[in-house]
Structure 1
């Protein structure tokens, strides 16, 4: 399904060029019209990360929603999973998160959640797109029916309590030295606060947002600073969130990175032992490592794969009854608690396993040896390079070389103009050669 505005994770692009006030206004009007379905005061909650452009987009959205008669509750800087939770908790008809996640500050985006806190279906997003490109003037509210907007002051405490209550009441992180990197993003207050209240000795990184430093040399896309700090402080664990805190990576006590595949393996094995898995397996994407799949098979669990994007993981989880899913990049969805990826909650679940086992993170979070896996991006200016004859030929040759024991995934990004080329297999040299060959073909066609 070809869409004009929505990608794999909402609407995203360069602020004031792609994500303009005019577009935000129309998104507010279109989404507001679709989600009004009764004779009561409809409401929408709006959260954001710490990007400078968030103010501009926030007020444009407010104008759009109030112009069609929806009341607006402004949450301020809050993680994406908090917005999803509060949409449901506050009985809102719609939730909005203003964020471009792990992208640099120049970008921004608009993510939408339905009344139950789930991201919207393709069909609903298509309906919003159709309204955006239509004349909505006749559908706007009369002056007496305009919506109202107000800021909500207690949402940070509400989310902290929610996160803490995902653990048993007896669980305490006392004695654990934790470095948490909030990427100068949406969780810069709530994450350190929640961990401290659970008893941990907390050292914070990336908690001084200035509107332009979100994800800059900090966070899950740049974990080097966290690794250094963990080693310097001799901490037990490091937690790296991204700009909107819906993904997490872990750093062990030696400063080594632990990705989402390992985190899902740790939680899956722990929940299996406790009888908490709703299905004998988990859900991940085509990008997850074959090592994860083999490990799960060795303990009697399966791995269901979906296209890239946490929304597709969640759709499969809901359809087939799984309660653990996620992505190698650090989106970990624990549907017993959340309707989307929640970096803080996932990190706390891993910390609880570490605490119960009494073993260092380097042991607990090394569930399997990953197979060699290489991912490269090829930027293109336009057109459809994957449809070129030389690219198709290179892909077929690569698949033949890899054979049944490897995996090759080539896909366009849903958030930026790049083609992602990933291969994995037992032979690192062969995997690297295959990725380079395909990337050269794509670059020549781009």
Structure 2
């Protein structure tokens, strides 16, 4: 390193030191970078935001690409907030840099420059390399000031920032991917996002002529978040091929309060403010619009949820049919977690003959596993997911779609596949993109929600939590489906599972607190609840439960 470079580095670090004092870290506060970044009450995040601005600049210098920073806490309550970094192809940041994020966020004030210097040395970062960072934020009251703290961090290390203001999380991922592919993936603007997805959707539904207004009508719960705002902006681009009645659009209600995808999934019931007619298609976004679930009410008033498992099954069934019609040799895989309903796994493997892979909880694990297939479909049960198409798969699809010598049936299937690629946000799970894809699949296949729901019947399931003194006493293997420790716990779970039909259960430590999460499913809800309670009791006895014993559900 030349004396000139050293001088530049010293000047920048002096600026960082000066600006950092304006964003002081509360002494002793430690935060974890989870699957979706840092999340906690907004009042504790100012220093984290500033420091993630610094780290984003270093990541940009290292990759020689634009990096994204999103200020959001997704489905969390309105008083929370958070931040996550986005890598060059719109994916989540690599595990090594998650560790760096925690080191930078948790360094005491006097150690911050040392930590930054160590990262630069370890990663051989050239201080003179340019850096560019895209910033987006959700609609929380705290998001504007916190994104300003991110901007302060970026500028103090002489990075270039593009502040998009209010965006959905998937839109920011989209922008980053577009920028780093020289717009081959799309244009890095909100209009570019709307145009790409809506044009593909309009082309897809041309394969379903004579749709009625009822078939085009969809009720959307926007969770009083940014998804509602952006969906309104997108509507003109859809050319009335989708007619949306928007609820919980943020004009009066509180973000994620008694509404949104997470609320509907957990409560197994409709959100506040949505007026459902019998059989009407409804869906809910979460607060930053990266999750979606569908639902309807039947003629007897019963609520039916079509969650991430149902969405993955619908989409993968559609894709396999098209790939077969097109005569393409492409491997389709569906990636799930242990929380996926057992009925969905059996249907995919036994009926659809699709490869199913189970991975650890966390969308980053699903995303990476999906990349191993020509076409990888991944969804968590909570409705967070997307479809990934390999470069070779896209090339084969495009070539067949343009091949004048192929049969009409194969060419039509390839054209539908091509538009399916374009309506999909391959950077990350995206509620708006997934909504358009589901609507297109239903239209093209002529399916009602009831017919979709009837593909398979979910097994009753139950999720519970047990407080323990130390969550680390439980370690797991086999994608978190089996416990390695403490001794005897997995044997106890196995013995309990054998007592019920079509049953399974697993336990795993929480990522953020000293609790153990318990999942159970069986042939009836009564048996499921009984199994879940007995597994909770086994955890309490063998893994150091604290407080009152787990109680049976009434």
TM-score category (smaller protein): 0.7 to 0.9
Cα distance in 1 for partners of 2:236, 2:512 equals 35
Residue 42 (structure 2) pairs with residue 15 (structure 1): yes
Structure 2 vs 1, CA of residues 53 and 227 (structure 1 numbering), >3 Å: closer, same or farther? closer
SS in 2 for 1:349: helix
Structure 2 vs 1, CA of residues 376 and 343 (structure 1 numbering), >3 Å: closer, same or farther? same
Alignment check: 8 A CA contact 1:180 1:202 kept: yes
- Alignment equivalent of 1:35, drawn from 60, 69, 79: 60
Give the stretch that moved more between structures: 394-403 or 336-345.
394-403
- Alignment equivalent of 2:135, drawn from 46, 51, 56: 46
Q: CA deviation at 1:415?
A: 4.9
Q: CA deviation at 1:159?
A: 2.3
Q: What stretches of structure 2 of length at least 5 have no aligned partner?
A: 1-29, 65-127, 390-423, 476-482, 547-554
1:139-218 correspondence to structure 2 within 5 Å: 155-167=189-201, 169=203, 171=205, 175=213, 176-195=216-235, 197-198=237-238, 199=240, 200-208=242-250, 213-218=254-259
**Quick one: higher RCO (CA 8 Å, sep 6+), 1 or 2?**
1
Residue 257 (structure 2) pairs with residue 257 (structure 1): no
Give the ranges of 4+ consecutive aligned residues of structure 1 lying more than 6 Å apart after TM superposition: 387-391
SS in 2 for 1:231: coil
- Alignment equivalent of 1:325, drawn from 378, 382, 386: 378
Q: CA deviation at 1:243?
A: 1.0
Structure 2 vs 1, CA of residues 421 and 6 (structure 1 numbering), >3 Å: closer, same or farther? same
- Alignment equivalent of 2:457, drawn from 369, 382, 388: 369
Structure 2 vs 1, CA of residues 427 and 207 (structure 1 numbering), >3 Å: closer, same or farther? closer
Cα distance in 1 for partners of 2:189, 2:279 equals 30
Counterpart of 1:401 in structure 2 is 496
Deviations 1:236-263 (A, max 9, x none): 3111011111110001364522111111
Instruction: Give 1 or 2: higher helix fraction.
Output: 2
Structure 2 vs 1, CA of residues 365 and 155 (structure 1 numbering), >3 Å: closer, same or farther? farther
1:277-288 correspondence to structure 2 within 5 Å: 278-288=330-340
Alignment check: 8 A CA contact 1:293 1:302 kept: no
Q: What stretches of structure 1 of length at least 5 have no aligned partner?
A: 94-114, 118-151
Q: CA deviation at 1:70?
A: 1.1
Deviations 1:345-398 (A, max 9, x none): 112111112222334212123321122221113356765463799975454212
Counterpart of 1:231 in structure 2 is 276
TM-score, normalised with respect to structure 2: 0.62
SS in 2 for 1:344: helix
TM-score, normalised with respect to structure 1: 0.76
Alignment check: 8 A CA contact 1:163 1:194 kept: no
SS in 2 for 1:240: strand
Deviations 1:135-194 (A, max 9, x none): xxxxxxxxxxxxxxxxx9x94323222321443525267622211111111212222443
Cα distance in 1 for partners of 2:353, 2:198 equals 31
The RMSD of aligned alpha carbons is 3.3
Q: CA deviation at 1:72?
A: 1.1
Higher Rg: 2
Structure 2 vs 1, CA of residues 259 and 196 (structure 1 numbering), >3 Å: closer, same or farther? farther
SS in 2 for 1:324: strand
SS in 2 for 1:207: coil
Cα distance in 2 for partners of 1:235, 1:427 equals 25
Q: CA deviation at 1:299?
A: 1.8
Alignment check: 8 A CA contact 1:409 1:421 kept: yes
Alignment check: 8 A CA contact 1:285 1:308 kept: yes
Structure 2 vs 1, CA of residues 11 and 272 (structure 1 numbering), >3 Å: closer, same or farther? same
The number of aligned residues is: 384
Structure 2 vs 1, CA of residues 28 and 240 (structure 1 numbering), >3 Å: closer, same or farther? same
- Alignment equivalent of 1:242, drawn from 259, 281, 286: 286
SS in 2 for 1:62: helix
